[in-house]
Structure 1
């Protein structure tokens, strides 16, 4: 595993990914994500944003180029090594929450540590739930929680391993606007490197930076974005 500058949490250099020998999902993508920053990735349907997240997180292999996460060259790892990297250094938050319905909030949060063969302390779990405002919901099962509370549990679960990068795939897509704002405020308050794929300009405007993709290529960026500018840029790309 190749060490890199610790100020850079993740980096892609000239990354190419082709599906079925003809669909260029990623076409020479080069991006750097500084440690502690919150980046939103946007683009029209088929632009490559989900593929970028999956490749950067080590869920899918690239055809050429390089990807580094937490100082490790992901593209040089075999399947077992990528699994260990995802387990130990990468966090995930999805639109569908992906909580186990038979487990309590606390049990869902501690699950990544148990799967890694580590026994979590009650203090760790309490701290993770308190960080997302759910210290009093530890014994509640997902069906006893609102959608926003379930997503907060999912965020706590993603953070309990103290990952170098948190990847979020449409984390507010299943939530109403009020709850979405609450979850986005929570994400923004986390001193964590976050790479979030979203189609929502309001969600994207919560980030420090918005990266726009089209046809598998980076076609622009916005720093300190606002909703109207993000929406206008996305509309232009979709047109």
Structure 2
């Protein structure tokens, strides 16, 4: 594996990353020389108008999207020099994923869903390890329940526990509250907020919701594949105002 700055302050860092899609009649810029770091112990929200590059950035940070130029580093390891198998191992061990759809296997219990990633990696996690992951999201007592026996918010919390089982350097969340009611969504956001208090971990969330973004330490804005500023210690009102401005410019 091609390692660089082990011990870096950033759990994930993008250095002059560019990505252009050329499958349509006209090339579409996904990212244009974006340089951005996500420090450990922080919670960052990514926002921008439709087509601004939010999903491209998240996928590039996860090594799920090939880039044209630049570097992506996860936990100090540059992704560009990795073979496919090495990249798969890094994603499995150093990155936790949380999606809008919970992606739980309906036939498995909560505990079995949480244990699945390490099992796929050839490691059998101990019962105490799995229960600790569920306890960290407040669901230790629901370990034996299947997804159909859990609420949407509880299913998303199981998905977060599954993301945490490998003790990742970064948790990447893509619209994690999009399928939840307001109360469940706020519970999930509070949980993500707490995860970022771990000094060894960063949480990065793509969202369209200013209230969700207000849980973060910092909101980073994108437009047309470019960085368009950021807000530290954001309020929902500040985020909404900035988004209104960016959307007006995009029209």
Q: Distance in 2 between matches of 1:214 and 1:232?
A: 15
In the alignment, which residue of structure 2 is the partner of 1:235?
Answer: 244
Q: Distance in 2 between matches of 1:16 and 1:48?
A: 11
- TM-superposed deviation, 1:210: 0.3
**Secondary structure at 2:115's aligned position in 1?**
helix
Give the TM-score of the pair, scaled to structure 2.
0.93
Specify every segment of 5 or more residues in structure 1 that has no aligned partner in the other structure, as ranges: none
In the alignment, which residue of structure 2 is the partner of 1:19?
Answer: 21
Specify every segment of 5 or more residues in structure 2 that has no aligned partner in the other structure, as ranges: none
What is the count of residue pairs matched by the alignment? 239
- TM-superposed deviation, 1:76: 2.0
- TM-superposed deviation, 1:3: 2.7
Are positions 1:163 and 2:192 aligned together? no
In the alignment, which residue of structure 2 is the partner of 1:49?
Answer: 54
Ranges of 4+ aligned residues in structure 1 off by more than 3 Å = none
Q: How does 1:87-236 map to 2 (within 5 A)?
A: 87-190=92-195, 191=198, 192-236=201-245
**Secondary structure at 1:151's aligned position in 2?**
helix
- Note the aligned Cα RMSD (angstroms): 0.9
Give the TM-score of the pair, scaled to structure 1.
0.98
- TM-superposed deviation, 1:81: 1.6
Q: Distance in 2 between matches of 1:68 and 1:176?
A: 35
Q: How does 1:48-87 map to 2 (within 5 A)?
A: 48-87=53-92
Q: Distance in 2 between matches of 1:129 and 1:143?
A: 17
Q: Distance in 2 between matches of 1:226 and 1:81?
A: 40
Q: Distance in 2 between matches of 1:55 and 1:8?
A: 15
